[in-house]
Amino acid sequence: MIRNRFFRNVSYNTFQLITNQIFGLIIFYGLSRGLDKNLFGEINWVLAVLLAVFGLLTLGIDQVVVKKIAAGYNRQSIFSIYLFHVIVSGGIFYFILLAGYFFLPSTQFHREFLLFIGLGKLLLYISTPFKQLALGLEKFREFFFMSIVSNITRGLSIIVLLVFHKLTVFNILIVFVAGDLAELAFSALIGRPPLKGFFGTGWSKRRQILIMKESLPQAGVVLFTSIMARFDWIIVGLLISATKLAEYSFAYKIFEVSSLPLLIVAPIMIPLFTRMTAQLKNMNDIFFFLEWQIIIASFVALMLNICWIPVVDHISDGKYGSVNSNTIFLLSLSMPLIYFANFMWTIQFAKGNMKTIFTIIGFSFVINLLGCLILIPIYKNEGAAAAYFITILTQVILYLRKRTMILPNIKIFLLLFWPVTAFLAGYLAFVSFKHTGVRVFVTSIFFLSVILISKQASFKNWKTLQSLYQ
- Give the distance from CA 242 to its chain's centroid: 22
Residue 288 DSSP SS3? helix
Angle at 468 between CA 466 and CA 470, to 5 degrees: 85
Q: Are the C-beta atoms of residues 181 and 53 closer than 8 Å to each other?
A: no
Taking the model in full, what pTM does it have?
0.81
Q: What is the pLDDT along the chain (470 residues), one digit of tens a residue?
A: 445 555 666 677 778 888 888 898 899 889 988 888 999 999 999 999 998 899 888 887 777 777 677 667 677 778 888 888 899 999 999 999 988 888 766 655 567 888 999 999 999 999 988 888 887 777 778 888 888 999 999 999 999 999 888 989 899 999 999 999 999 999 888 877 666 655 555 566 667 777 777 777 667 777 777 778 788 989 998 899 989 999 999 999 899 888 877 777 776 676 667 767 766 566 667 777 788 889 999 999 999 999 999 999 988 888 899 999 999 999 999 999 999 998 888 888 777 787 888 889 889 989 999 999 999 999 999 999 999 999 999 999 998 888 766 766 667 777 788 999 999 999 999 999 989 999 999 999 999 898 888 876 666 665 665 555 55
pLDDT of residue 258: 87
Report the C-alpha gap between 308 and 321 in whole angstroms.
Answer: 6
DSSP label of 105: P
CA-CA-CA-CA dihedral for 328, 332, 333, 338, to nearest 10: 140
How far is it, in rounded angstroms, from Cα 434 to Cα 348? 46
Alpha-carbon distance 115 to 299, whole Å? 41
Q: Closest Cα to residue 43, out of 173, 194, 182, 185?
A: 173
Nearest to 256 by CA among 444, 418, 17: 17
Cα(9)–Cα(15) distance, rounded to whole angstroms?
10
Residue among 443, 115, 208 at smallest CA distance from 307: 443
Angle at 94 between CA 90 and CA 247, to 5 degrees: 100
pLDDT score for 332: 94
Report in angstroms the alpha-carbon separations of 56 from 120, 260, 271, 370: 17, 24, 26, 20
| Cβ–Cβ under 8 Å, residues 140 and 9 | yes
The CA distance from 119 to 90, in Å, is: 10
The pair phi, psi for residue 74, each rounded to 5°, is -60, 110
Closest of 90, 93, 72 to residue 129, by C-alpha: 90
Can you tell me the distance from the alpha carbon of 95 to that of 101, in angstroms, rounded to the nearest whole number? 10
pLDDT at 410: 64
Q: What is the pLDDT of residue 1?
A: 45
List the Cα angle 179/183/188 in 5-degree steps.
150
Q: Rounded distance, CA 383 to CA 368, Å?
A: 11
* Angle CA 341–422–244, to nearest 5: 70
| Distance, CA of 32 to CA of 131 (rounded, Å) | 30
Say whether 107 sits in a helix, a strand or coil: coil
d(CA 149, CA 144): 9
SS3 call for 470: coil
| Radius of gyration, alpha carbons of the chain | 23
Kindly report the number of other CB atoms within 10 A of residue 40's CB atom: 24
Looking at residue 109, what DSSP letter applies?
S
Listed in sequence order, the residues at least 6 apart from 107 whose beta carbon sits closer than 8 Å to its beta carbon are none
Q: How far is CA 267 from CA 2, 14, 343, 396, in A?
A: 16, 10, 11, 20
Q: Of all residues in the chain, what percent are helix, strand and coil, respectively (each to 5)?
A: 85, 0, 15
Query: Closest Cα partner for 143 from 5, 272, 17?
Result: 17
Could you give the CA distance from residue 372 to residue 378 in angstroms, rounded to a whole number? 10
